[in-house]
Structure 1
């Protein structure tokens, strides 16, 4: 605000001393107002982008945390499935072995008779 008052005071003094410079003073004031408007728009955009950056950074941190939780859950499920697969394979091999032994006994009994 101080710069605007200073500019207005300076322009007033110039116009009082040299009224012929009025059109240049108006052009200068228009240019100043245009630059001020651009500055305000850029400043507002910068503030908005900074808020958006903070929001995205917070969202990213949350997503990283959720990803870590999901990764841990997946790893636990993978271990559980691996254990169950090992148990299944063990039971499967036991059944196969039992069936093969019973088949051999049956064949052996038939050969003896």
Structure 2
């Protein structure tokens, strides 16, 4: 099993001069123990805060992407609806022109049907 190596560890049997209240690891058979428990808690709290900020940042980015996607989808649906309305107008105009042409041909005596 691999143990995490951080800046707040001390080697077995060797005191750390930068930490005044360091408990020196006395047993070499045990894995290295953390020195300066208050420092470890502070580092743990900081890493939790960083993790929480990173998670919140990712969630905010996902929320923005989802919001942008919904907005794009609404724009797309609006554009599709506008094109469908135009197509219905063109179909109505085309049907009116065909009806007009049919009426003119009937008047000329050439029934095409």
Using the size of structure 1 for normalisation, the TM-score is 0.55
Q: How many residues align?
A: 80
Determine whether 1:93 maps to 2:88.
Answer: yes
Q: Which has the larger radius of gyration?
A: 1
Q: What is the alpha-carbon distance in structure 2 between the residues aligned to residue 87 and residue 39 of structure 1?
A: 69
Unpaired segments ≥5 residues, structure 1 = 5-31
Moved over 4 A (4+): 51-54
TM-score, normalisation: structure 2: 0.55
1:62: how far off? 0.2
Q: Which has the higher helix share?
A: 1
Gaps of 5+ in 2: 1-12, 14-25, 109-113
Q: 1:34 and 2:28 equivalent?
A: yes
In 2, the alpha carbon distance for the partners of 1:85 and 1:40 equals 63
* Match in the other structure for 2:58: 63
What's the Cα RMSD here?
3.2
